[in-house]
Amino acid sequence: MKKIITAAEIKEYDRFLRMHFCNCLTGFKSPLLVGTTSESGNENLAIFSNVFHIGADPSTIGMIARPTTIPRDTVANISETKIYTLNHIPLADYEKGHLTSAKYPEEISEFEALNLKAEYIEGFGAPFYADAPLKIGLSLSSITPIKENDTILIIGKVELVEVEEKNLMVTGHLDFSGLRTVASTGLDTYYSTKFIDRLPYAKYRK
């Protein structure tokens, strides 16, 4: 039996039920570890799954951050330093990746607290997660408040990417089966994934 759930019913849900249900609606994501430093040099690592492709020329990526009604180290650090990294999470590290969402004080580095090794790539000032099989360095392009709920749209320009050569195909596709990164839904559920097919560009034919 199928169930129709209306906006009025969702509004009546208890806070946690609503949070889990609404966070699951858009399905699978690649949760990424966002690496930053504060202006005073404190490193920070936090898991974000609301991260999405915006455009390819220039290569641009967006992410949604929660409202800054409480201190948010990632948002503060990106605003200060204007650079950050996105790091795909190896399957083996999903539990540690999840733990980066805990509210660590500003002066505590999640890299150190969770024994996730920080790595710097020459010429780029923000920290990467050393074991990430796909690493992206970005410069801040814009920060836009979302009027609907005070969340924040952070848009960045891709400055560099590090990936194993064997997982980068001549066509430009990335082989995520080979990269063995984790996928997630909502705020607490993690999956491994399986390749199904790659299809040709879809053309309309009369």
Q: Which of 108, 113, 121, 187 binds ligand FMN (CB under 6 A)?
A: 187
Q: Which of 84, 98, 133, 154 binds ligand FMN (CB under 6 A)?
A: 98
- What six digits make up the tokens of 68? 């800054």
The phi, psi pair for 65, rounded to 5°, reads -110, 150
Instruction: State yes or no: residue 30 binds ligand FMN (CB under 6 A).
Output: no
Q: Which of 33, 37, 43, 49 binds ligand FMN (CB under 6 A)?
A: 49
Q: Are 35 and 45 in contact (CB under 8 A)?
A: yes
**Could you tell me which stretch among 47-55, 120-128, 135-143, 168-176 binds ligand FMN (CB under 6 A)?**
47-55
**Could you tell me which stretch among 46-54, 81-89, 126-134, 193-201 binds ligand FMN (CB under 6 A)?**
46-54
Q: Which residues of 56-82 are buried (b: 16+ CB within 10 A; e: fewer)?
A: eeeebbbbebeeeeeebbbbbbbbebe
Strand partners, 136: 86, 161
Nearer to ligand FMN, 9 or 67 (CB): 67
Nearer to ligand FMN, 57 or 107 (CB): 107
Q: How far is CA 94 from CA 16, 31, 99, 119, in A?
A: 22, 9, 9, 19
Instruction: State yes or no: residue 132 binds ligand FMN (CB under 6 A).
Output: no
Nearer to ligand FMN, 9 or 189 (CB): 189
Q: Which of 33, 72, 136, 156 binds ligand FMN (CB under 6 A)?
A: 72
Binding site for ligand FMN (CB under 6 A): 31, 44, 46-50, 64-66, 72-74, 98, 101, 103, 184, 187
